[in-house]
Amino acid sequence: MRSGDLALHHGGLKMKKRNISINLLIISFFLILPGILFANNVNNIIQKANNMFVGNNIYSVNDMTIYRSGKLNITMKLENFFMKKGGKSYSLAVYKKPGRMKGTAYLMIENDLWIRFSSTGRIRKLSSSAKKNSAAGTDFSYNDMGDTGEGPISRYDMELVDSKEDVNGEKCYKIICIPKHGEEQDYEKLEVYISTKEYYYIKIDYFRHKANIKTLTFSEYRTIGDKIYPYKMVMESHIKPTKTEIITKEIEFNSSRVKERYFNISYLERIK
């Protein structure tokens, strides 16, 4: 082969290799692109759903009713405060009724939880395992109660698996949530349903040991300023004949009633 032909031959080989590399890059891009778009899509859905009712300096008053075997067991009234500052989340829930529970309170700062017992006035810090337990005999855990200010699935990684799921006649996005890598959560999986039309939370199924142990439903959405909030939430157990209903009686976003001084142990000690 003449030197000129040899040079052309080598040049052709280099061109082919370059074309192959470019083609591989293009193929890789289109293989990765759907995953990127999918991740952005699910994040956008969750952000829209959370923007409906998540905010800062949230004040609310709720009636929380426990039903056992379909019969009303007890109704409790709670006053709630939520604040986010310096990248940390703070929440305080104080029981106002019934009389025997008045003064019981939960203070949660990030993942730390303290309880004030009205009967003794003593304050106890709960262990991580204890936070998974029922709060005051309800179907909500202590952690469930502390999650409301940032959205019910803020501690999980998410994946959109269906955009055609039907829940009580409502077309929904179905999103699977699992604990973030290296983090331990109360539940091994959540199945979240968000309406495709309004981006409302419709329901959340909670899983432990591969079983759906309870379901939280959201309803009676109302507009409050630029927010839309579910005035009724019901957590129903699938392992015992109970459900807990939370009815919001009053709620304020960016409320002046939320004070930074509420979120410490010394204030917890003064609650009556």
pLDDT of 264 over the 70 cut: yes
- Establish how many alpha carbons lie within 13 A of residue 116's alpha carbon, considering only the half-sphere containing its beta carbon: 23
Q: What is the DSSP letter of 40?
A: H
Residue 115 lies in a domain: yes
Q: What's the pLDDT score for residue 66?
A: 98
| pLDDT for the residue 30 | 37
Query: CA gyration radius for the chain?
Result: 25
pLDDT surpassing 60 at residue 38: no
Domain span including residue 235 = 52-270
* Each residue's pLDDT tens digit, 65-79: 999 999 999 999 999
Between 179 and 192, residue with greater pLDDT: 192
pLDDT of residue 26: 38
On the question of pLDDT at 22 being above 70, the answer is no
- Whether the pLDDT of residue 14 is over 70: the answer is no
Residue 9 lies in a domain: no
For residue range 233-246, list pLDDT tens digits in order.
999 999 999 999 99
Query: Is 83 inside a domain boundary?
Result: yes
pLDDT of residue 219: 96
Between residues 29 and 250, the one the model is more confident about? 250
What integer best gives the mean pLDDT of the chain? 84
Q: 250 lies in a domain?
A: yes
Q: Classify residue 210: in a domain, yes or no.
A: yes
Q: What is the pLDDT of residue 8?
A: 45
Domain of residue 231, CATH code:
2.50.20.10
Give how many domains the chain has, as a whole number.
Answer: 1
Query: pLDDT at position 140, please?
Result: 93
The set of long-range contacts for 262-269, using a CB threshold of 8 Å and a minimum separation of 24, is 262/81, 262/92, 263/81, 263/83, 263/90, 263/91, 263/92, 263/107, 263/109, 264/107, 265/107, 265/114, 265/123, 268/92, 268/105, 268/107, 268/114, 268/116, 268/123, 269/116, 269/121, 269/123
Range with the largest mean pLDDT of 23-27, 28-32, 126-130, 147-151 = 126-130
Report the range of poorest mean pLDDT among 17-21, 120-124, 249-253: 17-21
Give kind and range of the element (H or E) at residue 43.
Answer: helix 3-51
**Does residue 92 form part of some domain?**
yes
Residue 185 maps to a domain:
yes
Q: Encode pLDDT of 76-95 as tens digits.
A: 999 999 999 988 999 999 99
Q: What percentage of residues in the chain have a pLDDT greater than 70?
A: 82
Would 23 be classed as within a structural domain? no
The yes-or-no verdict on residue 37 having pLDDT over 50 is no
CA dihedral 227, 232, 233, 237 (to 10 degrees): -170
